[in-house]
C-alpha cells in the first residue's frame, strides 16, 4: 500500500461542502509543492462540482473510500456527488497496466491510499469544488451588501454653492454698501423734482451699486467653478472601476456556466470570477486557483504607488462563502498590510501576467478603493494660509469700517437740519451717502481681483517650470511650506532602473588568483548613449567573443522580453524595469553605440544570429528565468539564465573568466562571491547573477513542459557575471535638498520600499546624515512608528528630516494630519489612488504627471516631470508671489487708508463733499488695480530661499507694516484734503468759512460767495482732490517694487510692467478729464470732473511728490529695525 499525501493550500467551505481548492503534491515520502514536485504535475479542469457517471459499466461505492474502473482507452471516468462524502475530490493520472484501481481518502491525514504497490501516481489534479451562485442568492446578497459601486457623495446644489460664496466679510460689507447706496439713490429720486430728473441722471445714481454687484457676481461665479472642479476627484475614482466581468453563475437548471460581459456592479461576495492578462479586477477577491500559468502578476501601482508588478500566490486560509459574513468590513481573514497580501486581488488593479479564478470577498465601499473614497470624502480641506489671513483681515476691516462709518454719521447729526437741506431727512440721507462713500473708500474692492490675477500669473510662471496648478490659492501656500513629504520612486529618483555596477571574474585559472573586478556603469536613464561602461576594453566583444563580457551581453539581450523605444527627445521602455536596465547595459557593451542608429541596434544584431527556442518562466521558488536560444547558422543551443545570486550560484558549477577561461567553483570562490554580493547589496543595489550553459534540447524535452522541473534544467551552470541595479537619484535632487535645508524646509521621505534601499537613498541625498548610526537614525517602518505613543510620534515629527519605509496607504494621511496639528504646513507628493486622501488632506497636494487620474484630481498641483527639484522651484516661486502680494497689499491698503482718512477728515471738519462714491470706486478699481497687478511682476529677491518659512499664523499686515500704512495713508489724505482746501482758501475764503459752508446764507455778505459751494463749482476742487489722489497713489506704486529696499536701489525700471501699469491708469484719468476736448463731454460730467490748467497740475505734483521721500524714510527705519531683530536672535541662539 502506498500513501500519497495531499497538501491543501486554501481551505474553503462552500455551500456546506468542505473541499480543498488548490494544488496537491504527490510523493510517497515527503510533501513537495505541486508546481515543483518532480513526480507529479498539476493541471486544471473547468468541470463543475457535480460529477456525473460516464458509463454504467463503471462502478463506484459510497463507503469510506470509493473505487473507479478505467477503460482501455485510459479515459477519465467520473462519479456522482457521493464522491464528496469525505470532502476531497482527486483525479489521478496513473501509470501501469491495471484497469481497476481502488483508493481511499483519509480525511484526517489528507492522504490517498492506493491498494496496488505496482501502480504509481504520476499526477493529481484537483477539480473545482466551489459553485456559482444562483439568481436568488445574488438578489439576496445585493440587498445585504448593495451594488459593487462606489457610493456617490452628497453633492451641493448650484444654489448652495452660490450662497456659500457670500460667506466672506469683505463680500458681506460690499453687499451692505450696495444695499445702502441703492436705498439712498432711490430716496434721492423720490425726494427730488421728478420733472427735473432725467433718465441719465437716474442711471448715474445707480452706477455705484451696479458695479459693486457685478464684481460680487463675477467672484461668486469663479468660486462655484473652483468647487465644482474638486468633485472630479471622486468621479475619477469611478473610471477605475471595470464595467464588465466574467463570473461563474448557476443557470435555471442548476448547472454552472461562465457568464461573460456581466455588469461588474452586480457582483456580490461569494461570486467566483475569472481574470486574465489585461483585465481590471472588479472587486476585492481571494485567489483560489491559477490557470494555465505558474505565475499571476498584478499591477497594483494605482493602490501602492510602486511600479513593480506584484506576484500573487495561492495560500492557505479560511473563508465562509456560504453566509458571506466575512464581508463585514474587517480583515479577519488577512490582517497584513495591503502590499503583503499576496493572495488577495484588489479592485481596480490590473492583471499583467497569467490567468486566475478568485472568490469575491468585498464589494463597493468595503473594497480598498472604497476605503480610499471614504478617505477623500473625510479628508479635511484646510484653508490656505492666505485665505486664513484674508479672512482675519476682512473681519478686522469690517469692524473698523463699521465703527468709522457710524462715527462719521453720528458726528454729522447736528448738520442734518442745515439750511442747505430742505428737511432733516434730506440731511440724514446726504450724510448717509457720505458714510457710504467712506465705506467704499475703506474697502479694497480690487483686492480679490488683484490677488486672483497675481496668482494666475504665478501659475503661468510655474507652468514654465513644469508645474500645472489646479487650485489658485495653493500657489501662494507654497511660500510657507515648512515640510515636504515626498515619495522616493520617480520623485527623488528617476524611476528608471539602471545598471550601476558590473562584476566579472579576472585572473588565471592555473594559479587560482581569480578575483571579482567591478566595472562602473555610467548613466541614469534608458538611453544607452548617455552613459558608458568604465574599464571596458576597446571593442571587447569582438576582441574576446568567448569571454565573460560577451556572455553578459548575450544574457542581457537574450534573457529579456523588454524593448527600448526612441522618441524625438528620450528613450522609453516597454516591459519590466529590471529587463530595461539589462537591455540598456547590453547596448552600452555593444560594438555600436551611436545616436543616429536604432536605440537597440546591438540587440537587433544579436537576434540576426540567434533565435529564442523556449522560455523557462520565472517563479518565486527558484527565483530565476531562463531562455534557450539556438544559433541560426550552426544550430548550437545555449541556456541563458538570470536570477537571484544566492540561489542561482548554488546551481553553478563553474565560473567564466573575463578572458574566456572556465574555472571550477571552489569554496574560496563561493566566499568571495558572498562578499561581493554583500558589498553590492549594502549600497544598496539589486543584484542579479548571469549564467550560461551549453544544452541539447532533446535531452530535456519532458522537463521543458513542466514548470516544476525547470530547476533541473537550470543546473550545472557557468556563472559569467554579476550586475548591480537600482533606481538612481535624480542628478538635480541633491542640490534641491540643499536649497531646502538653506530655506529651513524639512524633508520626510515616505516610501513603500525596503529599509536598506530607503536609507541608502536618503543618505546619498543628505536627507539623513551619512555618518548617522542605526541608533540615531530617524528612519521608521510604518507599523513601527504608529505603534509608538502619540506624544513620541509628535516629538519625532517636530524636528529634523525623517524617512518612513514599508508604509501603508493610510500612513501618509495620518502623518499629514499629525504635522498639521503641530502647526506645520506640509506639502505631500503622490501618484497612486491610495495617495488621494493624503493629497486632499495636505495643505499642498502635489501629484506626479505620470500618476493616476485620481491623484491628479485630488491634488492642488501636478508635476509634469515628476521631479523633486520642480517642487523646490515651486516653493521659491510661492515665496516670490507672497513677497509681491505684500508689495501690492502695501500699496492698496496704504491707498485705501488714505482715502478713508481723506473722507473722514473732510467730514470731521465739515467740508463740502470731497469725493463722490463713484469717484472713489473708480480710483479703487481702475487707478489702483493695474499698478497692483503689475506689482505681481516684481523681480524675485535673490535671498528669497535664504530665509526660513514664514509662520502660517503670521499676519499679512504686521504691526510695523500697519504703522507704515497709517503714516503713508495719512499723508495721502493730507495731500488730498490739502489741495481741496487750498482751492477755497485761494478763492478768498477762510478755513472757518469752508467748515461752515452749509450755513453760507447766514454769514455770506453776498450770494455770490455761496455759489462756490454749489455742485457745479465743487467740480473743480473735487477734480483737484481726485487728481492728487490718483497721482500720489501712482507714485506710491512706483516706490513699492521692494517692500524694504530704497527706490534708488530697486527702482521701477526693474519692473517694466509696473511702469506700464502706472501710465495706463494715468492716461485714462487724463482722458476722462479732457473728454470734452475729445468730443465726449458726457464722460467728464458723469464723473463730476473738469479739465485742469497747467498751474493746477503743478500744484497737484507739489502735493504728491513728498510721498516718495516719506516712503523711503520708512523703509530705511524698517531695515534698521530688522537688523536689530536679527542681531538679538543671533545673541539668543
What residues are paired with 245 via a beta bridge? 262
Half-sphere exposure of 406 (CA within 13 A, CB side): 6
487 is catalytic: yes
Q: Are 643 and 713 in contact (CB under 8 A)?
A: no
Q: Specify the DSSP element, H or E, that contains 520.
A: strand 515-520
1073 closest CA partner among 1031, 1104, 1114, 1045: 1031
The string of DSSP letters for 532-564 reads -BTTPPTTHHHH-TTSHHHHHHHHHHHS---EE
Q: What is the distance between the alpha carbons of residues 278 and 834, in angstroms, rounded to a whole number?
A: 21
Q: Do the beta carbons of residue 554 and residue 606 sit within 8 Å?
A: yes
Could you identify the residue written with the cell 488577495? 344
Sequential DSSP letters for 119-143:
-EEEEEEE-----PBPHHHHHHHHH
Question: What are 499's strand-pairing partners?
Answer: 725
8 Å CB contact between 411 and 907? yes
Which one of 284, 487, 600, 831 is the catalytic residue?
A: 487
- If phi over 0 gives left and psi between -120 and 50 gives alpha, with beta otherwise, what is residue 87? left
Say how far apart CA 1096 and CA 282 lie, in whole Å.
Answer: 80
Q: What is the largest CA-CA distance in the chain?
A: 144
Instruction: Determine how many CB atoms are found less than 10 A away from the CB of residue 333.
Output: 15
Residues contacting 377, CB < 8 A, separation 6+: 153, 234
Residue 719 DSSP SS3: strand
Main-chain phi, psi angles of 300, to 5 degrees = -105, 20
How far is it, in rounded angstroms, from Cα 346 to Cα 501? 36
3-class SS of residue 1029: helix
- 324 sits in the region (left: phi over 0; alpha: psi -120 to 50; else beta) called left
Spatial contact of 345 and 361, defined as CB atoms under 8 Å apart: no
| Residue 43 three-state SS | coil
Please state, in angstroms and rounded to a whole number, the distance separating the CA atoms of residues 390 and 369: 37
| Residue 860 backbone dihedrals phi, psi, to 5 degrees | -85, -30
Q: Which three cell numbers stand for residue 982?
A: 487750498
**Is 176 exposed, middle or buried, given 0-12, 13-18 or 19+ CB atoms closer than 10 A?**
middle
Determine the 3-state secondary structure of 1112 from DSSP. helix
Rounded to 5 degrees, φ, ψ at 216 are: -65, -40
Q: How far apart are alpha carbons 441 and 994 in whole angstroms?
A: 23
Which three cell numbers, joined as nine digits, stand for 328?
463585514
Distance CA 313, CA 287 (A): 7
Half-sphere exposure of 386 (CA within 13 A, CB side): 26
Euclidean distance between the first and the last CA atom of the chain, given in angstroms as a whole number = 86
Within 139-203, strands assigned E span: none
Query: Quick check: 985 and 1024 in contact, CB under 8 A?
Result: no
Burial 982-997 (b: 16+ CB within 10 A, else e): ebbeeeebeeebbbbb
| DSSP per-residue codes, 738-772 | HHHHHTT-EEEEE-SS-HHHHHHHHHHTTSS-TT-
Active site residues: 487
Amino acid at each position: 500500500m502506498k500513501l500519497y499525501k495531499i497538501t491543501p493550500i486554501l481551505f474553503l467551505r462552500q455551500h456546506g461542502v468542505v473541499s480543498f481548492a488548490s494544488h496537491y503534491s504527490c510523493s510517497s515520502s515527503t510533501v513537495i509543492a505541486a508546481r515543483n514536485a518532480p513526480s507529479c504535475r498539476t493541471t486544471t479542469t473547468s468541470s463543475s462540482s457535480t460529477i456525473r457517471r460516464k458509463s454504467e459499466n463503471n462502478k463506484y461505492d459510497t463507503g469510506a473510500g470509493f473505487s473507479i474502473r478505467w477503460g482501455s482507452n485510459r479515459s477519465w471516468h467520473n462519479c456522482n456527488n457521493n464522491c464528496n462524502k469525505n470532502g476531497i475530490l482527486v483525479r489521478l493520472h496513473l501509470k501501469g497496466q491495471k484497469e481497476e484501481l481502488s483508493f481511499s481518502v483519509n480525511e484526517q491525514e489528507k492522504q490517498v491510499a492506493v491498494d496496488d504497490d505496482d501502480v504509481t501516481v504520476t499526477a493529481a489534479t484537483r477539480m473545482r469544488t466551489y459553485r456559482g451562485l444562483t439568481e436568488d442568492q445574488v438578489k439576496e446578497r445585493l440587498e445585504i451588501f448593495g451594488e459593487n459601486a462606489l457610493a456617490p457623495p452628497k453633492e451641493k446644489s448650484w444654489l448652495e454653492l452660490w450662497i456659500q460664496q457670500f460667506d466672506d466679510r469683505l463680500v458681506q460689507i460690499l453687499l451692505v454698501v450696495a444695499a445702502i447706496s441703492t436705498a439712498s439713490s432711490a430716496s434721492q429720486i423720490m425726494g427730488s423734482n421728478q420733472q427735473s430728473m432725467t433718465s441719465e441722471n437716474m442711471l448715474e445714481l445707480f452706477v455705484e451699486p451696479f458695479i459693486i454687484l457685478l464684481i460680487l457676481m463675477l467672484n461668486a461665479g469663479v468660486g462655484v467653478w473652483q468647487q465644482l472642479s474638486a468633485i472630479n476627484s471622486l468621479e475619477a475614482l469611478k473610471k477605475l472601476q471595470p464595467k464588465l466581468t466574467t463570473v461563474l453563475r448557476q443557470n435555471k437548471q442548476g448547472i454552472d456556466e461562465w457568464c461573460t460581459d456581466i455588469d461588474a456592479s452586480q457582483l456580490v461576495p461569494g461570486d467566483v470570477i475569472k481574470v486574465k492578462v489585461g483585465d481590471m479586477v472588479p472587486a476585492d477577491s481571494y485567489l483560489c486557483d491559477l490557470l494555465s500559468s505558474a505565475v499571476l502578476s498584478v499591477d497594483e501601482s494605482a493602490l501602492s504607488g510602486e511600479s513593480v508588478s506584484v506576484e500573487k500566490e495561492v495560500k492557505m486560509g479560511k473563508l465562509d462563502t456560504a453566509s458571506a459574513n466575512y464581508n463585514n468590513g474587517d480583515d479577519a481573514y488577512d490582517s497584513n498590510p495591503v502590499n503583503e497580501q499576496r493572495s488577495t486581488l484588489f479592485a481596480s488593479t490590473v492583471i499583467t501576467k497569467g490567468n486566475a479564478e478568485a472568490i469575491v470577498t468585498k464589494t463597493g465601499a468595503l473594497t480598498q478603493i472604497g476605503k480610499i473614497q471614504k478617505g477623500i470624502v473625510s479628508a479635511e480641506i484646510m484653508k490656505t494660509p492666505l485665505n486664513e489671513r484674508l479672512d482675519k483681515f476682512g473681519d478686522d476691516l469690517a469692524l473698523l469700517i463699521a465703527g468709522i462709518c457710524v462715527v462719521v454719521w453720528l458726528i454729522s447729526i447736528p448738520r442734518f437740519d442745515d439750511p442747505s437741506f430742505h428737511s432733516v431727512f434730506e440731511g440724514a440721507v446726504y450724510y448717509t451717502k457720505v458714510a457710504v462713500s467712506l465705506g467704499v473708500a475703506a474697502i479694497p474692492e480690487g483686492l480679490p481681483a488683484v490677488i486672483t490675477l497675481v496668482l494666475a500669473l504665478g501659475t503661468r510662471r510655474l507652468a514654465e517650470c513644469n508645474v500645472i496648478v489646479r487650485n489658485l490659492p495653493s500657489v501662494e501656500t507654497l511660500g510657507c511650506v515648512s515640510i515636504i513629504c515626498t515619495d522616493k520612486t520617480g520623485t527623488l529618483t528617476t524611476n528608471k532602473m539602471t545598471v550601476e555596477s558590473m562584476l566579472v571574474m579576472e585572473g588565471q585559472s592555473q594559479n587560482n588568483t581569480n578575483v571579482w573586478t567591478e566595472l562602473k556603469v555610467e548613466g541614469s536613464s534608458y538611453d544607452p548613449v548617455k552613459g558608458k561602461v568604465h574599464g571596458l576594453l576597446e571593442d571587447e566583444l569582438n576582441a574576446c567573443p568567448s569571454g565573460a563580457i560577451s556572455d553578459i551581453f548575450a544574457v542581457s539581450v537574450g534573457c529579456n522580453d523588454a524593448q527600448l523605444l526612441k522618441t524625438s527627445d528620450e528613450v522609453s521602455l516597454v516591459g519590466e524595469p529590471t529587463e530595461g536596465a539589462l537591455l540598456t547595459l547590453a547596448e552600452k557593451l555593444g560594438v555600436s553605440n551611436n545616436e543616429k542608429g536604432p536605440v537597440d541596434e546591438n540587440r537587433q544584431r544579436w537576434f540576426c544570429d540567434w533565435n529564442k527556442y523556449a522560455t523557462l518562466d520565472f517563479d518565486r521558488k527558484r527565483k530565476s528565468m531562463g531562455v534557450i536560444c539556438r544559433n541560426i547558422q550552426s544550430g548550437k543551443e545555449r541556456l541563458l539564465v538570470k536570477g537571484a545570486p544566492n540561489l542561482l550560484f548554488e546551481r553553478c558549477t563553474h565560473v567564466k573568466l573575463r578572458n574566456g577561461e572556465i574555472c571550477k567553483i571552489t569554496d574560496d570562490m563561493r566566499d568571495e562571491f558572498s562578499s561581493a554580493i554583500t558589498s553590492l547589496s549594502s549600497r544598496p543595489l539589486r543584484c542579479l547573477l548571469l549564467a550560461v550553459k551549453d544544452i541539447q534540447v532533446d535531452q530535456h524535452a519532458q522537463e521543458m513542459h513542466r514548470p516544476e522541473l525547470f530547476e533541473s534544467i537550470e543546473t550545472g551552470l557557468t556563472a559569467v557575471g554579476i550586475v548591480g541595479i537600482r533606481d538612481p537619484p535624480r542628478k538635480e535632487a541633491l542640490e534641491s535638498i540643499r536649497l531646502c535645508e538653506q530655506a529651513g524646509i524639512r524633508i520626510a521621505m515616505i516610501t513603500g520600499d525596503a529599509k536598506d534601499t530607503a536609507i541608502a537613498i536618503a543618505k546619498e541625498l543628505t536627507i539623513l546624515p551619512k555618518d548617522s548610526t542605526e541608533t540615531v537614525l530617524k528612519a521608521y517602518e510604518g507599523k513601527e512608528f504608529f505603534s509608538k505613543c502619540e506624544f513620541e510620534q509628535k516629538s519625532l515629527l517636530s524636528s529634523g528630516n525623517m524617512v518612513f519605509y514599508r508604509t501603508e496607504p493610510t500612513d501618509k494621511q495620518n502623518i499629514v494630519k499629525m504635522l498639521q496639528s503641530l502647526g506645520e504646513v506640509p506639502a505631500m507628493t503622490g501618484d497612486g489612488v491610495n495617495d488621494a486622501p493624503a493629497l486632499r488632506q495636505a495643505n499642498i497636494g502635489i501629484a506626479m504627471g505620470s500618476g493616476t487620474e485620481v491623484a491628479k484630481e485630488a491634488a492642488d498641483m501636478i508635476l509634469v516631470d515628476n521631479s523633486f527639484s520642480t517642487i523646490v522651484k515651486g516653493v521659491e516661486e510661492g515665496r516670490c508671489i507672497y513677497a509681491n502680494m505684500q508689495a501690492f497689499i502695501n500699496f492698496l491698503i496704504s491707498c485705501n487708508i488714505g482715502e478713508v482718512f481723506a473722507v473722514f477728515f473732510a467730514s470731521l471738519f465739515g467740508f463740502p463733499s470731497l469725493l463722490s462714491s463713484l469717484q472713489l470706486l473708480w480710483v479703487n478699481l481702475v487707478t489702483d488695480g493695474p499698478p497692483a497687478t503689475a506689482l505681481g511682476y516684481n523681480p524675485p529677491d535673490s535671498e528669497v530661499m535664504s530665509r526660513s518659512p514664514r509662520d502660517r499664523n503670521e499676519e499679512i499686515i504686521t504691526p510695523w507694516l500697519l504703522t507704515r500704512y497709517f503714516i503713508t495713508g495719512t499723508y495721502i489724505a493730507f495731500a488730498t484734503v490739502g489741495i481741496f482746501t487750498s482751492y477755497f482758501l485761494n478763492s478768498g475764503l477762510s478755513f472757518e468759512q469752508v467748515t461752515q459752508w452749509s450755513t453760507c446764507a447766514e454769514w455770506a455778505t453776498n450770494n455770490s460767495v455761496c455759489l462756490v459751494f454749489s455742485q457745479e463749482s465743487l467740480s473743480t476742487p473735487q477734480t483737484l482732490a481726485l487728481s492728487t489722489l490718483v497721482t500720489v497713489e501712482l507714485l506710491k506704486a512706483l516706490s513699492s517694487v521692494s517692500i524694504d529696499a530704497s527706490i534708488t536701489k530697486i527702482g521701477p525700471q526693474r519692473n517694466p510692467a509696473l511702469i506700464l501699469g502706472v501710465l495706463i491708469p494715468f492716461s485714462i484719468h487724463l482722458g476722462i478729464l479732457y473728454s470734452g476736448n475729445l468730443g465726449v463731454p458726457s464722460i467728464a460730467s458723469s464723473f463730476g470732473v473738469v479739465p485742469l490748467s497747467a498751474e493746477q497740475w503743478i500744484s497737484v505734483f507739489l502735493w504728491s511728490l513728498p510721498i516718495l521721500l516719506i516712503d523711503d524714510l520708512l523703509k530705511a527705519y524698517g531695515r534698521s529695525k530688522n537688523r536689530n531683530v536679527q542681531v538679538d536672535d543671533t545673541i539668543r541662539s
